[in-house]
Amino acid sequence: MKKLTPILQIFLIGLLFFTAVNHLPAQSANRRVSVSSYTETIIKGKISKARANLYYEFPLGRIITMNTEPDNFVFITNTLGEAKIYYPAKNAVILRSNPTFSTRNNNLYYFFTNRVYDLGLQEAGFKVSGVRQEDDFTVTTWQAPLKLLGQVDKIDLVHENMMPIFSEYRNTKGECTVKVYYSDFQKVYESMVPLLVTEIIFFNKTDSTIRRTTYTNFRTGNNADTAGFDFMIPENAEIEK
């Protein structure tokens, strides 16, 4: 089986920790959104930078990610996790089918589908185990179903002015495994979308990965950039396994 390149592994690392908890319904209205992203990832003290243009299609639930830095590749996936990774330089495509690659695990997908109350947790089988008020913040604790306890036990979702601004994942030992911060919201269509998402993934007490993604240049409907929507993998592309 073809191994994924190091930069693609970094690109996918943010998905691996959210697969089990994001199950969102498709929207009924036809919508298109294009947006640019800039991501800084810190792993073991080393900083990597990545740039991409993302193209969202609703209600199809398809996302086309055209990565431009440091590697040039196109990542196409849908809600089922049926993914295609195309490398123009080699005219080669890698095919994958795994819930990890589902568009439901994309940072902005939660907001574009207006699931700001629970970010899809309820449909994934989570149940509210507690709600508390801390100053201007509402903290809702979600208990994971038995089938997910190997990955996560509880999630605290923090809202301010009805918008989610922070989430914390804990395992059955009460240890924090993931923190996600959402900030700098902007209205896109009828959705409020964060322009900055910061993720901290804890592997143990001394090792963590930090990803900081900034989103800019939102364009919608007929004004959206069409490069990603019109993109098609060449029929003569070599399939790598």
The structural domains of the chain, with segments of one domain joined by +, span 6-240
Higher-scoring residue by pLDDT: 204, 82: 82
Judge contact between 32 and 220, C-beta under 8 A. Answer: yes
The conformational region for residue 161 under phi > 0 = left, psi -120 to 50 = alpha, else beta, is left
Beta-strand pair 191-202/208-220: antiparallel
Mean pLDDT of all residues in 132-142:
97
At residue 29, the pLDDT reads 55
CATH entry, 6-240, from 3.40.1350, 3.30.420, 2.50.20, 1.10.260: 2.50.20
Mean pLDDT of all residues in 18-44:
71
Percent of the chain surpassing pLDDT 90: 73
**In whole angstroms, what is the distance from residue 225 CA to residue 57 CA?**
12
What are the residues whose beta carbons fall under 8 Å from the beta carbon of 232, sequence distance 6 or more?
none
